[in-house]
């Protein structure tokens, strides 16, 4: 009986050690993957900051160029309008087009909820009912006859 208890103890000890080794190997693998992702995220952040400063320099250059011909307030206003138009164009380009929007003449309702609505988006309702699986049976000409009595 004591031998059986000893084997159970060894079995439990072995299972605990295997679980510990598995945890350590998963932890090491995740640490290695995260290290690469952290580096990539830092590079993207640096790229975004540089692009932001480059955009600000371009906006300043446009404003200063307009300032040569216009008063300062007008040059700043025109620059602001140009930046707002660029922002709007980029935002609309980033939004996904609704399905079937290219080349169709009718508008497809948006699946976005109304502003301030706390509910989930409702999918658009199709304009025509689905026809798959609802085929009408065609009468067999051999058995087709007029059900009305013949009064000739």
Eight-class DSSP state of 72: H
d(C-alpha 24, C-alpha 30), whole Å: 10
d(C-alpha 41, C-alpha 139), whole Å: 67
Reported pTM: 0.41
pLDDT digits (tens, 9 = 90+) for 1-41: 677 777 777 778 888 888 899 999 999 888 888 888 888 88
d(C-alpha 2, C-alpha 78), whole Å: 91
Whether residue 66 has pLDDT greater than 70: yes
pLDDT digits (tens, 9 = 90+) for 114-130: 555 555 566 676 676 66
């Amino acid at each position: 009986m004591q031998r059986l208890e000893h084997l159970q103890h060894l079995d439990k000890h072995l299972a605990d050690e295997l679980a510990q080794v598995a945890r350590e190997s998963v932890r090491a693998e995740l640490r290695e993957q995260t290290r690469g992702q952290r580096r990539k995220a830092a590079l993207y952040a640096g790229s975004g900051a540089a692009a932001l400063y480059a955009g600000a320099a371009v906006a300043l250059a446009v404003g200063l160029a307009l300032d040569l011909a216009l008063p300062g307030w007008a040059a700043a206003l025109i620059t602001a309008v140009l930046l707002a138009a660029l922002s709007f164009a980029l935002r609309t380009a980033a939004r996904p087009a609704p399905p079937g929007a290219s080349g169709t003449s009718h508008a497809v309702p948006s699946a976005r909820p109304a502003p301030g609505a706390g509910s989930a988006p409702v999918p658009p309702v199709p304009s025509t009912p689905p026809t798959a699986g609802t085929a009408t049976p065609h009468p067999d000409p051999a058995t087709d006859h007029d059900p009305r009595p013949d009064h000739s």
